Amino acid sequence: MEKYKILFVCMGNICRSPAAEAVVRSLAEKAGLSRFLEVDSAGTHAHDEGGRADSRMRKAAAKRAYDLDGLRCRRLSKEDFLRFDQILAMDRQNLDYLRDMCPPGLHDKLRLFIDFAAETGEEEIPDPYYGSAEGFERVLDLCEAAGKGLIDAVAALLVDGPRY
């Protein structure tokens, strides 16, 4: 079976999207789905391409046993729209960017990651970059909530049959 491929996208690929990638990778492993699921992250602007995730996010993630050290920032590419089954934005600004860049006929792959955690009452996963350490913890809380919903949705797809 071909892997189901999910891409997480924020602006710089240094805080939110690498956190989402690490959280979902961990949740997939715990759920026994890692062999069916491929996750990656990218940034719409990714000015630090090739660099590591923000040190504050790496520190917050490490406290929860998520390893971001091996992840490297990269910029979203046109090929990503063809390669991935779902492309999940962290906020509306990045979702709008994805919609503008997305080739015709592929817009159904795009949505907000937080949509998988309606119970949080949040509409976006906020950018913690200019805030305090608590902002990075909040991002991880939201990624964990949305990640659980996403893993449930992927598990249902695998049980219910073809994705297309």
* Residue 10 falls in the annotated catalytic set: yes
Task: Check 15, 16, 73, 143 and give the catalytic one.
Answer: 16
Reduced to 3 states, what is the DSSP secondary structure of residue 35?
Answer: coil
Distance of CA 162 to the CA centre of its chain: 22
Task: Check 40, 54, 80, 127 and give the catalytic one.
Answer: 127
Q: How many residues does the chain have?
A: 164
Strand spans (E) along 11-129: 37-43, 86-89, 110-112
* Residue 102 falls in the annotated catalytic set: no
Distance, CA of 133 to CA of 163 (rounded, Å): 39
* Residue 127 falls in the annotated catalytic set: yes
Task: Check 10, 15, 73, 143 and give the catalytic one.
Answer: 10
Rounded to 5°, the CA angle 134-29-78 comes to 75
Q: Which residues are catalytic?
A: 10, 16, 127
